[in-house]
Amino acid sequence: MIGEALARPILGVAYLLASLFFILCLRGLSSPEQARRGILFGELGMLLAVVATLLHWQILDYTWIFAGLIIGGAIGTAISLTIPMARMPERIALSHAFGGLASALVGVSEYYDSAGRFDGERFRLGALGIESFLGFLTFTGSLVAFGKLQGLLGGAPITFKGQNKVNLLLFLGALALLATALVIPSLALPFYGLAVIGLLLGVLAVIPIGGADMPVVISLLNSYAGLAACATGFALDSKILIICGALDGASGLMLSLLMSRAMNRSFSNVLFGAFGTEPGAAAATTGTALPYNEATVEDAAAVLAAAQSVIVVPGYGMAVSQAQHAVRDLASLLEARGADVKYAIHPVAGRMPGHMNVLLAEANVSYDRLFDLEAINDDFARADAVLVVGANDVVNPAAKKDPKSPIYGMQVFNVEQARSVLVLKRSMSHGFSGVENELFFLPNTMMVLGDAKKTLLGLIAAIKGAE
């Protein structure tokens, strides 16, 4: 145990170095070669910060600290080492929930400890209020997102009449409570009221959002978790918390902007639009009676076997059926026969930013075969075959030419320009957005219905059998 006079400068220097390490950690992520070294910097920074904090002069007892570190560390390790990559979106949502809850609880704990003594410390009170509000909002919002991803709540938007008005009223109520707390710091009710509204608003804000919009919501919750940590920093006057919160907040905000831009939708549209509740006019008129080419696995295999250049477009369906390894096996087989195989990765394919990249990396696909939208969109016209594995909206031509379509304006792959398009799909039912996809009814499209993984294994067997 060392005194405050000695501990204060030690903590100060340790936090300063840790902040530097965290920035280096994020910088490492600018290339796959340096990324792991970057993470090592992050781990060092965290270790430094935590060990230094144990010297904090206000800490009198270590029982609960070590108990908490051991329990949390064990749970974190267990989840991280066992969770399959396809479940990453759920893990990310859950970790936002933990992050939000941690900030919120520290806020309440600090408030409870100093309750009634906030007269000269209104800034701190305000920061604590914002911290618990944002923390609890992130907590319940992320739990709902987790429930939707896990299928516990159904992926479809849950809406009721006047929903946006209720949310707006709750938000204004929260502002009013915050103002009341600042004017009359001795009142406890406004502070706890803020916490309760945060809990409610988290649920209400996320239930109307559909599964296909999850990448935006997850990024946005990431940003809120960061801002909650930031508010903690203001309340505790801790620069390292402000810095890390700002880094997290900036990253979440940037990702959600990227995702919304890729869908050509504004934030407010994602948050308040309840996408997919009313089928657009185009979807309603076309119906499902159109003829389409349903192909057998053998037909599809013949097309692939004859193709010199193949582009694979993976989507959420690949994650659901865990088909990434089968995709890679098929690609390797085609490559061994002399074909060129590339992967086209859409920014919003899957349920979180970068979802497809992680799955394909897991299946050992070299990352220089993965191409972004801009990099590959001109190649479709020259491709012999496109293999769409469980993707829907990102290959819907309606986004380019049908102003009535709900996804009009979204950037999509020009798959229909390829010589032939093979679509692996569970059934002819509509995807999450409920939008009809005319790609499925084009003459150069072959629909291969059924579980993606089984179909892929069938394709591999058929191509080998024909050799």
Residues 6+ apart with CB under 8 A from 122: 182, 185
With CB under 8 A as the contact rule, the residue among 68, 154, 162, 409 that binds another protein is 68
Tell the smallest beta-carbon distance from residue 438 to another protein (Å): 27
With CB under 8 A as the contact rule, the residue among 2, 6, 13, 71 that binds another protein is 71
Task: List Cα–Cα distances, 140 to 92, 101, 271, 309, 430, in angstroms.
Answer: 14, 9, 16, 47, 30
Question: What part of residues 35-64 is at the interface with another protein (CB under 8 A)?
Answer: 35-36, 38-39, 42-43, 45-46, 49-50, 53-54, 56, 58-62, 64
With CB under 8 A as the contact rule, the residue among 209, 217, 222, 276 that binds another protein is 222
Fill in the DSSP letter of residue 364. T
Is residue 367 a contact point for another protein (CB under 8 A)? yes
With CB under 8 A as the contact rule, the residue among 4, 6, 73, 175 that binds another protein is 73
Is residue 358 a contact point for another protein (CB under 8 A)? yes
CB 397 within 8 A of CB 388: no
Question: What part of residues 311-330 is at the interface with another protein (CB under 8 A)?
Answer: 328-329
> Segment contacting another protein (CB under 8 A): 119-127, 155-163, 265-273, 445-453?
119-127
CB 259 within 8 A of CB 411: no
Tell the smallest beta-carbon distance from residue 235 to another protein (Å): 8
Q: Per-residue x/- marks for another protein, 131-170, CB under 8 A?
A: ----------------------------------------
Using CA atoms in the order 180, 186, 192, 197, what is the torsion angle rounded to 10 degrees? Answer: 0
Counting every residue written for the chain, the total comes to 467
With CB under 8 A as the contact rule, the residue among 207, 214, 244, 399 that binds another protein is 244
**Which is catalytic among the residues 213, 248, 379, 393?**
393
Strand partners, 388: 313, 423
Is residue 121 a contact point for another protein (CB under 8 A)? yes
What CA–CA distance (Å, rounded) separates 340 from 195?
56
Nearer residue to another protein within complex by CB, 95 or 455: 95
Is residue 12 a contact point for another protein (CB under 8 A)? no
What CA–CA distance (Å, rounded) separates 194 from 192?
5
Is residue 451 a contact point for another protein (CB under 8 A)? no
Tell the smallest beta-carbon distance from residue 316 to another protein (Å): 14
Give me the DSSP letters along 203-231: HHHHTTS-GGGHHHHHHHHHHHHHHHHHH
Is residue 299 a contact point for another protein (CB under 8 A)? no
Is residue 273 a contact point for another protein (CB under 8 A)? no
CB 410 within 8 A of CB 259: no
Is residue 344 a contact point for another protein (CB under 8 A)? no
> Segment contacting another protein (CB under 8 A): 174-182, 305-313, 359-367, 395-403?
359-367
Nearer residue to another protein within complex by CB, 264 or 332: 332
CB 312 within 8 A of CB 341: yes
> Segment contacting another protein (CB under 8 A): 76-84, 158-166, 424-432, 445-453?
76-84
Active site residue 393: yes
Residue 23 CB neighbour total at 10 angstroms = 16
Is residue 80 a contact point for another protein (CB under 8 A)? yes
Nearer residue to another protein within complex by CB, 86 or 282: 86
Give me the DSSP letters along 73-134: HHHHHHHHHHS-GGGHHHHHHHHHHHHHHHHHHHHHHHHHHHTT--TT-HHHHHHHHHHHHH
Residue 210 CA, distance from chain mean position: 13
For 280, the token pair is 């657009």
What CA–CA distance (Å, rounded) separates 146 from 143?
5
Is residue 362 a contact point for another protein (CB under 8 A)? yes
What CA–CA distance (Å, rounded) separates 344 from 394?
10
With CB under 8 A as the contact rule, the residue among 335, 403, 409, 466 that binds another protein is 335
Is residue 445 a contact point for another protein (CB under 8 A)? no
Nearer residue to another protein within complex by CB, 62 or 278: 62
Nearer residue to another protein within complex by CB, 237 or 378: 237
Is residue 409 a contact point for another protein (CB under 8 A)? no
Nearer residue to another protein within complex by CB, 28 or 273: 28
Which uninterrupted H or E stretch holds 192? helix 189-206
What CA–CA distance (Å, rounded) separates 331 from 326?
9
Is residue 466 a contact point for another protein (CB under 8 A)? no
What CA–CA distance (Å, rounded) separates 242 from 228?
10
With CB under 8 A as the contact rule, the residue among 218, 310, 319, 391 that binds another protein is 218
Nearer residue to another protein within complex by CB, 331 or 385: 331
SS3 26: helix
Catalytically active residues, by annotation: 393
